[in-house]
Structure 1
Amino acid sequence: MKAKVTIVGAGLVGALLATLLAQRGFAVQVFERRQDPRRAGFLGGRSINLALAERGWHGLRVAGLAARMQPLAVMMRGRMVHDLDGRTNLQRYGRDDSEVIWSVNRGALNMVLLDAAEEAGARIDFDRRLDRVDWDTSTLHLAGEDGCTHTHAAGLMIGADGAGSALRAAMGQIIDLGERFEPLGHGYKELEIPALSAFPQDELPPALVEAAARGERFAIEANALHIWPRGNYMCIALPNAEGSFTVTLFLPNEGSPSFTDIRTGSDARALFARDFADASALIPDLEADFDGNPTGLLGTLYLERWHLDGRAVLLGDAAHAIVPFHGQGMNAGFEDAVELADLLAAEPERSEHVFAEFARRRKPNSDAIAAMALENYVEMRDRVDDSDYLLLRELDRRLAERHPGRWVPRYAMVTFTRVAYAEAFARGEIQATILREAASGRSSLDGIDADTLDARVRKSLPPLPTSA
């Protein structure tokens, strides 16, 4: 039997890591402050739907869970952009249906991962909130809703308990982690477009009556991530397997419109009627959802240190929470879990070395995806319907066709490959400079000197490794 490991947090990353470590022979104990969602139900309202990409699928494949998840995932070919006048335009993510992302329900995925962790031999205790850590004895003190306090001799401690990590707070009491949180200045509200079968029949838009009669499930195009870009704010919708869409409204915290002046469900309905009219008719419970669901906080967490010698280490959102606009938070966390499990399995007796090496490998990549996620927010809310952006996107696509394996769009590197985030960021910066200079002052691709541009690409970008 390998070392004893205690994981704080049984969310997505914690449950996957528990599975991977238990499969490798570790004695794994997990503590989770929530009740078991498989019995108590998954609490929504704060859960932006997840975009499962290649990095996330890889983690599931390593754990032997990809086939189990496939029926719960809905393919998204690209962004379906909704103009103010209701016109739509699909912007593909990749070349064809081999390059797509998948919408998954957070609760459904979490339950699959919890089952897998227990099947692998991990023990999970719910309703156990970490109260404090006795670092001299590596003992956890945990509180339950019943008021009782429980203690646990931890062994190696791993924090997978999210952006508000209790283990991170305990570590921070005895070591400077260099913690910094940068709020985005925007928040979000979760709403819902119901499946056609669940739509109140007297409120079903006339255009969808026939679709519902035919037994169709989705009120709008199922295989797309829908975006209503409106400059400094936006609305998105991701499909769920049963036919509904999770809708997320992103607004600034101040200004107009913002969560300062959009305070109630009736305020939100008026905003939707004005700026998201085609979506408004599809959200019958908008007022109740807006009033009942909390306003989510958005921001980026940076840490200079992820571990406390060989006793404790952080991963996922506990170490590097990011904004959700590249759909990579979970995918990055799953990469963390695979990397840490591999390192621990290789050197189970050298935890301090393993934790330091894990942080050395992963921190540059977490910093890179944090930067790209912030950039992608601006693109999604303000640029996807911009003519200059569309011109650069077309040139990007053509160069990828002319230089396969050398010129790979940054989005494709991040989403469809496992190229290190830091490398994708660096190559993306080079490519962006070439694109801007080639398209400067142009309204179309006419007149661009292809031979000169090709020579610059070959000089500036070495081929990506074939394993990427």
Structure 2
Amino acid sequence: MPVGERNEAVTVVGAGLVGSLLSVFLARRGHTVEVLERRPDMRREVIDAGRSINLAISTRGLYALKQVGLEEEALRHAIPMRGRMIHPPKGALMYQPYGKDDSQHINSLSRAWLNKFLMSAAEATGKVRIRFRQRVSSADLEQGVLTVVDEATGEERREEGRVVFGTDGSGSAVRQALEKVPGFESTAETLGHGYKELTIPPGPGGAFQMEKHALHIWPRGTYMLIALPNEDGSFTCTLFLPWKGPVSFESLDSPARLEAFFEEQFPDAKALIPDLTQAFFGRPTGSMVTVKCAPWNVGGKAVVMGDAAHAIVPFFGQGMNCGFEDCTVLEGLLGKSGDWETLFGELGRLRKTNADAIADMAVENFVEMRDSTGNPRFLLEKAVEKVLLNTFPGEFVSRYSMVSFSRVPYRLAYEVGAIAGGIVSDLSEGLTRAEDVDLERAKRLIHERLVPFMKEHADGFRTEG
């Protein structure tokens, strides 16, 4: 009998985005789910703000929500972002479309709203109980035992006999327990940059004070500012700076230095942030980490998913999308016969290589966003890429479009992107205008380099799971 049809009681550690959605999938398969969440219930208590980067939900994340009937409601609260709006230190704004046309866009969505929505959807199944302020203090996963502290009462208890799903984020207690198991390997690489959240409030009558349907970027080489639109007309801004150095969080140590820095580097944003000094010094500075580990499971006793298994930096907008894709792949496996150990092993086999690929692409995209988006050569290549996407549909694809607008495995998107990028680079040599690209040569290069690779991996392009 498939494990997804045994009506077994399971434990999910972490009621974040992935844990809440996973609980919906498990409940729909008949499982009774206990969710242990360390934080208080964010639907009833205000949780410290300032450490949340807005979500950019795209095809993979929306597909997962669609499987459980939640996509339409999520999209009602989302704002389409059709491209990047580049803010240079001086001069006119520059717009870079994300896809071949406006139908290809990503969506800005409130992390807090989506998390609350998914928790309520999980509880609405009638098979999910979320217990808040429950901290997993230790675990013996080989024996299937959790030690849990109720932080409201201080009481400690043992929980055992249930399969454990660790969806408790980049600092996962479940993954830390896995590290004690022989043969388990884990790395956590902290980015040399931190981030600070700021806010551009809505204008009069809730008006957006910048272009509504764009992800705004102020690229400045070793650092940058970004802004994503919110439903109420505001923008959530995130400043990414090195921790130390001439221009860093360490160097911006006074209101005067902060004000002067923004006036010089982000003057148009500064004019729209009324409480800059108070927000900057009053909010915490977040860190970003890339986590890779293997295997993701201990036999059939426990498995990690989402950030607990593969935390990535936020510069491709794929962290949540990747975690949600874990859930859809797991859902596909739940309908097959076999035990939990077999299922978890297959989940890791399907997902590990793809999670590693998007982690690497996210770091690469950070360099692109902060260094390249204002570069004339980069802008030319993006324009040439768009010409090729429209002229050779189905034959030429870009890495960005495959990651954001398809469900092709990340590993294939990474490899196709390298080939496509080489073609664009070769065709852009000596050009000053994208419309002058040699289309006959483009067709030849696509058929020599890209089409054979895509035919060779045709099965992979049918998506995993």
The answer, yes or no, to whether TM exceeds 0.5 is yes
Q: How does 1:60-75 map to 2 (within 5 A)?
A: 60-75=65-80
Partner of 2:396: 407
Residue by residue, what CA displacement relative to the aligned partner does 1:307-334 show, whole Å, maximum 9, x if unpaired?
A: 1111111111101111100000000000
1:35/1:323 CA distance change after superposition, 3 Å: same
Runs (5+) with no aligned partner, structure 2: 1-5
1:272 corresponds in structure 2 to: 262
Aligned-pair CA distance for 1:335: 0.0
Unpaired runs of at least 5, structure 1: 197-211
**CA distance in 1 between partners of 2:206 and 2:294 (Å):** 50
Q: Which amino acid is 1:149 matched to?
A: E
- Aligned twin of 1:179: 186
1:13 to 11, 14, 18: 18
Q: 1:125 is matched with which residue? A: 131
Q: Which residue of 1 aligns with 2:321?
A: 331
Aligned partners of 1:304, 1:29: CA distance in 2, in Å?
Answer: 25
CA distance in 1, matches of 2:168, 2:143: 21
1:312 aligns with 2:314: no
Count of matched residue positions in the alignment of Structure 1 and Structure 2: 450
Q: Residue type of the partner of 1:376?
A: N
Corresponding residue to 1:94 among 99, 113, 122: 99
CA contact (8 A) 2:388 2:396 kept: yes
Is the CA contact 1:4–1:154 (under 8 Å) kept in the aligned structure 2? no
Hey, what does 1:398 align to over in structure 2? 387
1:420 aligns with 2:414: no
Q: 1:372-394, CA deviations, whole angstroms, 9 ceiling, x for partnerless residues?
A: 11111111111111111111112
Change (3 A) 1:21 1:92: same
Q: Could you say which residue in structure 1 is the equivalent of 2:170?
A: 163
TM-score after normalising by structure 2: 0.93
Alignment correspondent of 1:139: 145
**What is the CA deviation profile of residues 71-116 of structure 1, one whole-angstrom value per residue up to 9, with x for unaligned ones?**
2111111111111125212211112221111101110000000001
Query: How far apart, in 1, do the equivalents of 2:340 and 2:314 lie?
Result: 31
The alpha carbon displacement at 1:261 in A equals: 0.4
Distance 1:416 1:42, change over 3 A: farther
- Is 1:6–1:154's contact at 8 Å kept on the other side of the alignment? no
Aligned-pair CA distance for 1:163: 0.2
Query: Who is 1:364 aligned against?
Result: 353
Partner in structure 2 of residue 110 of structure 1: 115
Q: Counterparts of 1:287 and 1:402 in 2: how far apart (Å)?
A: 49
Amino acid at match of 1:294: P
The CA distance in 2 between the partners of 1:395 and 1:134, in whole Å, is: 55
> Which deviations, in whole Å up to 9, do the C-alpha atoms of 1:262-321 show, x marking residues without a partner?
134443222111100000011111111111211111231111321111111111110111
Alignment RMSD, CA only? Answer: 1.8
Q: What amino acid does structure 1 have at the position aligned with 2:81?
A: M
Contact 1:42 1:107 in 2 (8 A): no
CA displacement at 1:139 relative to structure 2: 2.3
Per the alignment, residue 418 of structure 2 pairs with 429
Residue in 1 aligned with 2:3? Answer: none
Aligned partner letter, 1:300: T
Q: Say yes or no: does 1:455 pair with 2:444.
A: yes
Q: Could you say what secondary structure the match of 1:51 adopts?
A: strand
Residue 61 of structure 2 aligns with an amino acid whose one-letter code is: G
Match of 2:275 in 1: 285
- Tell me the distance in 2 between the aligned counterparts of 1:194 and 1:219: 8
The 1:345/1:140 distance shift into structure 2, 3 A limit, reads farther
1:345-392 Cα offsets, whole Å, 9 max, x none, are: 433x51111111100000111111111111111111111111111111
